[in-house]
Amino acid sequence: MQSNAALEYDYTVAKMFTYVTILFGFLGMLVGTILALQLAFPELNYLIGEYGTFSRLRPVHTNTVIFGFTVSGVFATWYYFAQRVLKVSMAESRFLMILGKAHFWVYFIGALIATITLVFGISAGKEYAQYEWWIDIVIVIIWLMWGVSIFGIIGIRREKVLYVSIWYYLACFLGIAMLYLFNNMSIPTYFMTDGLGSINHSVSMYAGTNDALVQWWYGHNAVAFGFTVPIVGMIYYFLPKESGQAIYSYKLSLLSFWGLMFVYLWAGSHHLLWSTVPDWMQTMGSAFSIVLILPSWGSAINMLLTMKGEWNQLAENPLIKFMVIASTFYMLSTIEGPIQAIKSVNAIAHFTDWIPGHVHDGVLGWVVFMTMAALFHMAPRMWKREIYSKKLMGIQFWMQTTAVVLYFTSMWVAGITQGMMWRAVDEYGNLVYSFIDTVTVLHPYYVIRGVSGVLYLTGFILFAYNMYKTITAGRELTEEPQFKTPMA
């Protein structure tokens, strides 16, 4: 077994997931941009009949970017870095190779079918959990395949100590499994009767306020374990690898990880402030949201301090730029969230555009930036070619950074304007504005958001093009780059 020869890692599965990350990223962002433009120009609702309305397309957007782009990005990076930090190649196990490929194909075909069902309105109705019962079963199978894959490769590892990134991916696996299972518990009506009605339809196991609690325990923490946990795992691996710097503090990693694990789950009820959920739960949600700043900023500061004394890299290497700004947006987003979770602030912010504004500085600025940086870092090592164009990467960076800033600033203004107008009263205590006044006033901000969407999407197309050219036409490398990713 023991050999001193350098390991050749096998990136077959990582490459497959890389392609679909780019594909789903493009599709998800394309639909997102269309949605943004529909709010500014409602005529765009009628492009493809009943299938193209804002309401029908929104779940297509959210599910494609969450379960399409982000999740396949998580899989792609997992199949890349897990081998490297565990010091074992996928090629060493026939079982793991076959499982990895099967995992990919079941996932890819499943994702396509799932997306089509949403377009046709086959929906269980809960946000980010719209998939009907039989798709849920397919998703559970996909997730279990990944689980076997994770524990399989961990089982044959040479490096005994699990690196921080592995902790985060393990937590992602376990957290999403628990949340998804409980939230999607439902009963298919077809089987509870003598085959009456549609086989697709199901009813939730929970009703009303209970359903809301379970849903936002899920909804908030799907964000936690999908958009935060694995992305933090990514940056813990890719930032040191790209910069050649060791992580600043082990203790801070430890504190942030276990802190995040414990605190995050409590915060879900901040989505239900002022609702019919009992008051003590709302207060718990608020309080834990504030506490959540600690582990979130703990990770982000750990990343920024990793660059201590090496800030010149920021000017020289656009990938460092991507990762540093991703950490920065993560800090912004994780201070903004707790502010919105304060009950008095939430009274104004809830139901307004400030909420999508908050979501998007997190996902566009943090999740997508970090995922793209990871794929850029992986490409020269997987395909043994130099990055096609550094200049293009720089253009993309500024385009998308501008887009993110336009997005959240316009939505801050829109959200607070709307929240204030809803509650405005004259000197006799009568409402000043009818609802439609609070809609028409948002038009300019919706236009700005549309522009931001077009810019961001264009940036993503540049990314896809740069990746494509790297894979097909980048200058070939004779040996693997140690740290800084080579680019032309």
Q: Which residues, 39 to 98, sit near other proteins by CB under 8 A?
A: 39, 42, 45-46, 49-50, 53-56, 58-59
Residue ranges for the known binding site for heme b are 61, 358, 360
Provide the greatest CA pair distance for the chain: 85
Q: Which two tokens stand for residue 357?
A: 């504004």
Residues in 281-310 that interact with other proteins by CB under 8 A: 281, 284, 288
Question: CA–CA separation, 35 vs 64, rounded Å?
Answer: 13
Question: CA–CA separation, 19 vs 108, rounded Å?
Answer: 11
Question: CA–CA separation, 351 vs 413, rounded Å?
Answer: 14
Q: Which two tokens stand for residue 369?
A: 């930036």
Q: Specify the residue, 400 or 410, whose C-beta has the smaller distance to other proteins.
A: 410
Residues in 134-193 that interact with other proteins by CB under 8 A: 151, 154, 160-162, 167, 170-171, 174-175, 178, 182, 187, 189-190, 192-193
Closest distance of CB 238 from other proteins, Å? 20
Q: Which of 113, 116, 144, 254 binds other proteins (CB under 8 A)?
A: 254
Residue ranges for the known binding site are 61, 220, 270-271, 358, 360
Residues in 350-379 that interact with other proteins by CB under 8 A: 350-353, 355-356
**Terminal-to-terminal C-alpha distance of the chain:** 40
Residue 332 near residue 293, CB atoms below 8 Å: no
Q: Which of 2, 3, 344, 440 binds other proteins (CB under 8 A)?
A: 440
Q: Which of 2, 3, 4, 276 binds other proteins (CB under 8 A)?
A: 276
Examine residue 271 and tell whether it contacts other proteins (CB under 8 A).
yes
Q: How many residues bind other proteins (CB under 8 A)?
A: 93
3-class state of residue 24 by DSSP: helix
Examine residue 246 and tell whether it contacts other proteins (CB under 8 A).
no
Q: Which of 138, 145, 265, 287 binds other proteins (CB under 8 A)?
A: 265
Gyration radius (Cα) of the chain, Å? 23
Element (H, E) at 111: helix 94-119
Examine residue 121 and tell whether it contacts other proteins (CB under 8 A).
yes
CA torsion sign for 73, 255, 311, 366 is: positive
Question: CA–CA separation, 436 vs 41, rounded Å?
Answer: 16
Examine residue 198 and tell whether it contacts other proteins (CB under 8 A).
yes
Closest distance of CB 311 from other proteins, Å? 30
Question: CA–CA separation, 21 vs 450, rounded Å?
Answer: 23
Closest distance of CB 201 from other proteins, Å? 5
Scanning 91-99, 257-265, 302-310, 387-395 for contacts with other proteins by CB under 8 A, the matching segment is 257-265
Residue 363 near residue 330, CB atoms below 8 Å: no
Residue ranges for the known binding site for Cu cation are 220, 270-271
CA quadruple 63, 66, 67, 68: dihedral, nearest 10: 90
3-class state of residue 188 by DSSP: strand
Examine residue 261 and tell whether it contacts other proteins (CB under 8 A).
yes
Closest distance of CB 175 from other proteins, Å? 6
Q: Specify the residue, 22 or 349, whose C-beta has the smaller distance to other proteins.
A: 349
